[in-house]
Structure 1
Amino acid sequence: MAELYSKAETLELRRKHIGPSCKVFFAKDPIKIVRAHGQYMFDENGEKYLDCINNVAHVGHSHPQVIKAAVKQMELLNTNSRFLHDNLVQYAQRLTATLPEELSVCYFVNSGSEANDLALRLARQYTGHQDVITLDHAYHGHVTSLIDISPYKFNQLGKEGKKEYVHVAPSPDIYRGKYREDHLHPGNAYADDVKKIIEVAQKNGRKIAAFIAESMQSCGGQVIPPAGYFQKVAETVHKAGGVFIADEVQVGFGRVGKHFWGFQLQGEDFVPDIVTMGKPIGNGHPMSCVVTTRPIAEAFGASGLEYFNTFGGNPVSCAIGLAVLDVIEKEDLQRNATHVGNYLTGLLKEQKEKHPLVGDVRGVGLFVGVDLVKDRQKRTPATAEAQHILYQLKERKILLSADGPYRNILKFKPPMCFSKEDAKFVVDQIDELLTDLEEATGLRTRNGLSTNVQYKRKVPTEGSSQLDCLSESINHISGSACRQENGFCAESHTVPCKRIRT
């Protein structure tokens, strides 16, 4: 495939014309991708990479059935939803059939951010309240209204980042959080914290419009809420006059395998008031949706302010959405997510038994996280080690990402066509890298495990940053600097070690 520009030219033009805050993966040596198919991506030299990052290409990159549906409809008509068209109502009918009966009214938009922004408008109009409860480390989108309710983002702005109408509840993380797996009822305990937040807010004259949470926190570290948590939170929020918004942008459309939606893991007795979705909905085509109840939709309409979206719900987008639903069903991708996800999780749990760097493995379906730690007892995050592994995997033609508040969680969210062979290949590579890393840092010797490992703290000098320290640390480990993509990093350390063989 002929390229318009060389990789160096593309990079130079990007630096010239694209905003500097728009980061690329693997900034020291970014990858130029020119095509993709299924769970694989190809660079300008034809090198094949296994994609464990793209939950956007939900049914697989360049899926022929999705492409065919898009082209066929584009050849006929594409226009806005002010005209009647069967694709819009057919898709709304198909989509709502996957949800509880109460969730029956759709608003089609173009991105997850747009969906969550609209969800806030619906909640505030329906309740007449302003305040929002969000989870620590949460991310809900990049527009201003969502940066304001995303601690993952606004914490980077310092003390001024948090608005007075935003209340932050602890992330319901039973591995690293306030209440852990040894707690008798962690779901109840975390829900009680939300109740206390509401009580304090009300004493200060604040009124809660909504509680918003990803059904499973992704950027927050692949966190799966404990049983009963959403039910108790919803009960408390409803009593306060608010609504419950379930953000399914990253985890919906069968990714959890057993259920079509992540919130359904909490049980049939839990139904959110508003559900937002994006990313996988169009397999890479920019579309998203907000689904809510009839009373909330009618209250929104009663404001007298017409809602219109030029591209939301256009015939081409709906044709693509229908094709994605068809492929999920035809190729039994929910079942694949269950079987391959269980296999992947099992392999990774074997690594936990084998490697002291693996503190926790948690996952449902093809949503899996590996929490890397320096010290299992203290659960000290292994940030530099996680970044090292990502870069070494990239050299082995595997694309994986890391996230969480300390950027030490290896995140698996591949296309749904991911196979057991893919899972085995990735875990085998991670096994080798963990072994090398543990031997180099003293966590492991050829004869077994070392339990008396000392880490020397790297203290930033004047004029240096935590990012510089992290880069130096990784450089010390692997001989190559690995900067984190978003410029945020946790407390860093240097690790005395020999050079890692790769």
Structure 2
Amino acid sequence: MVNGFDQSRINELEPAMQAIVRRRTNTLGPAYKLFYNSPLEIVRGEGVHLYDKSGNAYLDVYNNVPSVGHCHPHVVAAVTEQLATLNTHTRYAGEAILDYSDRLLATFPDELSNVMYTCTGSEANDLALRVARHRTKARGIIVTEYAYHGTTASIVDISTTMGPNVPIGIDVRTVPAPIPTPDGRDVGEVFARNVRAAIDDLERHGIGFAALIVDTIFSTDGVLTEPAGFLKAAVDVVHAAGGLFIADEVQPGFARTGRHWWGFARHDVLPDLVVMGKPMGNGLPIAAMVARPDVLAEFGEQTRYFNTFGGNSVCIAAANAVLDVIENEGLMANCAEVGDYLLDGLRHIADSDDRLHGARGAGLFLGLDFVDADGAPDPQLALAVVNGLRERRVLIGATGKDANSLKIRPPLPFTKENADTFLEAFGGAVGATR
């Protein structure tokens, strides 16, 4: 795991943290990981900050799940009131889920007018694969080479970031991420050709082609935002081949990219299925799949689907409150304005350091690469800066196939003052590595 704590260094920790780490291992098992060379014990959150046991505030530039900020009072109040009133499944008639669904669907193109609820983005992606395969009568799925889409068995099959001991499915093909090439070839055309070749391979092996699924900001591939519109040619190829395009909006969705509600809108494409995750409830277990009705119709008529507490009363209240906050606090405009300001600041710092390359972003989702003197990926420098920021009480992560890309993804209420705090700390952390 990028930026994972090395268990062999446990004896370097303070006694209290050593005890917690040992207890975690004994109780939770070895699969759970901690961040940073020196792990943190976080006990409280508020807005864009997390707090440790000593009351120290850490600026959160990493956590997208509490999308409108940690413990937002409007979300807390809505959840508390609903939890004291009713919490049940969707097999009883009620208007709250319908009212919320109308609000949610109003943020999508008119063609996307059905929604189904789950508890997690993994479940929503799992459902999307089921729908795509039922619709196309084919099995083949195309993903990028360093993709992450969730943790169910079928979704691990398409999540290439899980490591060499977790093989992808035999009906899955990977394509290189749409990264600009040194020779200046059109990013979109190259990506579309690679998707076409993967479709041909699936057909040649008798698997057939069901869907292309991408996180529309390519977060684990390194945060790939430029140029806007590069997805269009590949989506055209997908549709020409009779397949579906699934937009995974778990990370870029809900206004994060600044000028659109959804990441796919930056590319002027119409997905067949759109998947959302827990940011829709500010971290509560609610997620969803939005679909074109014609894509969903046969699946709904011929198969059975029920998610016991997907779309439950409390989580719908949370999701409704999140929309309130995004709309009433002008968070889409804030993402655009503060994101542009932050990107300018990153570029200014990068201009004076040839180890920093390719600052890019859309709203409050930004990336930047660390390279060595030869221009090759430098994951050790990325790791040093991430841990240097942690020591400066700024929380952030790294990403990308080569683990050399900074992933900047704060809660949506991030301000210019917060951006200044981050940029000062970032400059200090980078400078300390010279």
* TM tier relative to shorter chain: over 0.9
Provide Cα deviations, 1:309-340, integer angstroms capped at 9, x if missing partner: 11111111111100000000010001110111
The CA distance in 1 between the partners of 2:200 and 2:28, in whole Å, is 46
Residue identity in the other structure for 2:175: A
| Partner in structure 2 of residue 420 of structure 1 | 416
Q: Distance in 2 between matches of 1:284 and 1:207?
A: 37
Question: Separation in 1 of the partners of 2:398 and 2:354?
Answer: 18
Confirm whether residue 157 of structure 1 aligns to residue 165 of structure 2: yes
Deviation at 1:29, TM superposition (A): 2.2
2:112 counterpart (98, 103, 113) = 103
Q: Secondary structure at the match of 1:374?
A: coil
Separation in structure 2 between the aligned mates of residue 214 and residue 72 of structure 1, nearest angstrom: 34
Residues 90-489 of structure 1: matches in 2 within 5 Å? 90-153=99-162, 155-157=163-165, 161-174=167-180, 179-180=181-182, 182-183=184-185, 185-224=186-225, 226-267=227-268, 270-303=269-302, 305-375=303-373, 378-438=374-434
Task: Give the root-mean-square deviation of aligned CA atoms.
Answer: 1.6
CA distance in 1, matches of 2:114, 2:345: 41
Contact 2:141 2:213 survives alignment (8 Å): yes
Partner deviation per Cα, 1:401-451 (whole Å, 9 max, x = no partner): 11111111111100011111111111112212322323xxxxxxxxxxxxx
Q: Which amino acid aligns with 2:274?
A: V
Task: Name the CA distance, whole Å, in 1 between partners of 2:404 and 2:338.
Answer: 23
Contact 2:223/2:407, CA 8 A, preserved across alignment? yes
When the two structures are superposed, what TM-score results if normalisation uses the length of structure 1? Answer: 0.81
3-state SS in 2 of match to 1:22: coil
- Look up the SS of the partner of 2:164 in the other structure: helix
Distance across 1 between alignment mates of 2:332 and 2:362: 11
1:50 to 54, 59, 71: 59
Report the residue type matching 1:218 in the other structure: S
Amino acid of the residue matched to residue 88 of structure 1? I
Give the whole-Å Cα distance in 2 for the aligned partners of 1:414 and 1:394.
14
Query: How many Å separate the matches in 2 of 1:335 and 1:300?
Result: 38
1:240: how far off? 1.9
Q: Any residues of structure 2 matched to 1:25-44 within 5 Å, and which? A: 25-26=35-36, 28-44=37-53
* SS of equivalent to 2:245: strand
SS at match of 1:302: helix
Q: What is the SS of the residue equivalent to 1:354?
A: coil
CA distance in 2, matches of 1:314, 1:257: 29
Q: Which runs of 4+ in 1 moved over 3 A?
A: 6-12, 225-229
* Structure with larger RCO (C-alpha < 8 A, sep 6+): 2
TM-superposed CA distance for 1:14, in Å, is 1.5
Could you give the per-residue CA deviations for residues 461-500 of structure 1, whole angstroms, max 9, x where no partner exists?
A: xxxxxxxxxxxxxxxxxxxxxxxxxxxxxxxxxxxxxxxx
Cα separation, 2, equivalents of 1:111 and 1:30: 26
Query: In structure 2, what is the Cα distance between the partners aligned to 1:19 and 1:287?
Result: 26
* 8 Å Cα contact 1:187-1:225 kept in structure 2: no
Q: Deviations over 1:25-64 (max 9, x none)?
A: 12x4211111110000001111111011110111010000
1:255–1:227: structure 2 CA closer, same or farther, 3 Å change rule?
Answer: closer
- Match of 1:494? none
Structure 1 counterpart SS, 2:158: coil
Instruction: Confirm or deny: 8 A CA contact 1:220 1:403 kept in the other structure.
Output: yes
Greater Rg over alpha carbons, structure: 1
| Unaligned ranges ≥5, structure 1 | 1-5, 439-502
* Alignment match, 2:26: 16
- TM-score, reference length from structure 2: 0.93
Distance 1:385 1:196 in 2: 35
**What is the identity, as a one-letter code, of the residue corresponding to 1:239?**
A
Q: Deviations over 1:340-363 (max 9, x none)?
A: 100110000011111111011010
**TM superposition shift of 1:186:** 2.1
Q: Give the drift of 1:227.
A: 4.2
CA distance in 2, matches of 1:199, 1:398: 46
Shift of the alpha carbon at 1:379? 2.8
1:394 is displaced (CA, Å) by 1.0
- Please give the alpha-carbon distance, in whole angstroms, between the structure 2 residues aligned to 1:24 and 1:244: 34
The answer (yes or no) to whether the contact 2:394–2:425 under 8 Å persists in 1 is no
Displacement after TM superposition at 1:10 (Å): 3.6
